[in-house]
């Protein structure tokens, strides 16, 4: 039977940490939406002002609009590509743990000499399978949460920085 330790290794602690990580990512998505709306407003006003004088379209802000999106996309792609390796490892670990649990049950059947032996094998196999499944599943959820944050963080940083910078310039 599995004995859980307290602290960071306990499944409940890990699940709470993942929930906090996902909540932070969700909050960042909302902040990013507000900052994007502010940035769009500032840039739209700049474009409207530049319509009367085509030289104003030489403003570096108009070039930055495209290049920063490319930079954030490349950074997000790299982070997600890196995170996919951990995600696929977590997925394969979960599948392997399930296969090991099934193998343990079927492998133990050959050693059964009585119904009590069968019950003992089933009890141990189920306990091990549940324990391994919980930890493998948590690893998969942790990898998914990390992957989600990795994909959004580059855009979050760019959008928030733009909104702050443009607000300062407009003031």
Domain, as residue range, for 49: 31-170
Residue 43: inside a domain, yes or no?
yes
159 inside domain: yes
What is the pLDDT, as a whole number, of residue 7? Answer: 62
The answer to whether the predicted template modeling score (pTM) of the entire model surpasses 0.75 is: no
Looking at the domain assignment, is residue 105 inside a domain? yes
The Cα–Cα gap between 161 and 167 comes to 10
- Nearest Cα neighbor of 35 from 157, 151, 148 is 157
The Cα 67–Cα 130 span in angstroms is 49
Report the alpha-carbon distance of residue 15 to residue 157 in Å, rounded: 26
Residue 57 lies in a domain: yes
d(CA 13, CA 6): 8
Can you read off the two tokens belonging to residue 82? 């890196």
Kindly report, residue by residue over 17-58, the tens digit of the pLDDT: 889 989 999 999 999 999 999 999 999 998 888 888 888 888
Confirm whether 18 is domain-assigned: no
Q: Render pLDDT for 74-98 as a digit per residue (tens, 0 to 9).
A: 999 999 998 888 888 888 888 887 7
Sign of the dihedral through C-alpha 108, 114, 118, 121: negative
Residue 8 lies in a domain: no
In a domain, 101, yes or no: yes
Asked if the structure places residue 138 within a domain, the reply is yes
pLDDT tens string 104-130: 777 777 777 888 887 887 787 777 777
Domains contained in the chain, number: 1
User: For residue 30, how far is the Cα from the chain centroid?
Assistant: 16
Report the chain's terminal Cα–Cα distance, integer Å: 65
Q: How many Å apart are CA 119 and CA 129, to the nearest integer? A: 15
């Amino acid at each position: 039977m599995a004995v859980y330790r307290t602290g960071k290794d306990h499944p409940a602690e890990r699940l709470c940490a993942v929930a906090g990580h996902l909540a932070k990512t969700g909050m960042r998505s909302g902040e990013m939406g507000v900052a994007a709306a502010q940035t769009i407003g500032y840039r739209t006003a700049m474009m409207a002002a530049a319509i009367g004088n085509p030289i104003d379209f030489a403003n570096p802000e108009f070039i930055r609009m495209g290049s920063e999106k490319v930079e954030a996309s490349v950074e997000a792609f790299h982070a997600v590509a890196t995170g996919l390796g951990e995600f696929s490892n977590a997925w394969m670990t979960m599948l392997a743990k399930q296969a090991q649990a099934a193998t343990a049950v079927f492998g133990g059947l050959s050693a059964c000499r009585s119904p009590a032996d069968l019950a003992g094998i089933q009890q141990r196999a189920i306990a091990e399978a549940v324990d391994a499944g919980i930890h493998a599943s948590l690893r998969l959820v942790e990898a998914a949460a990390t992957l989600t944050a990795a994909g959004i963080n580059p855009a979050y940083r760019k959008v928030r920085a733009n909104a702050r910078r443009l607000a300062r310039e407009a003031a």
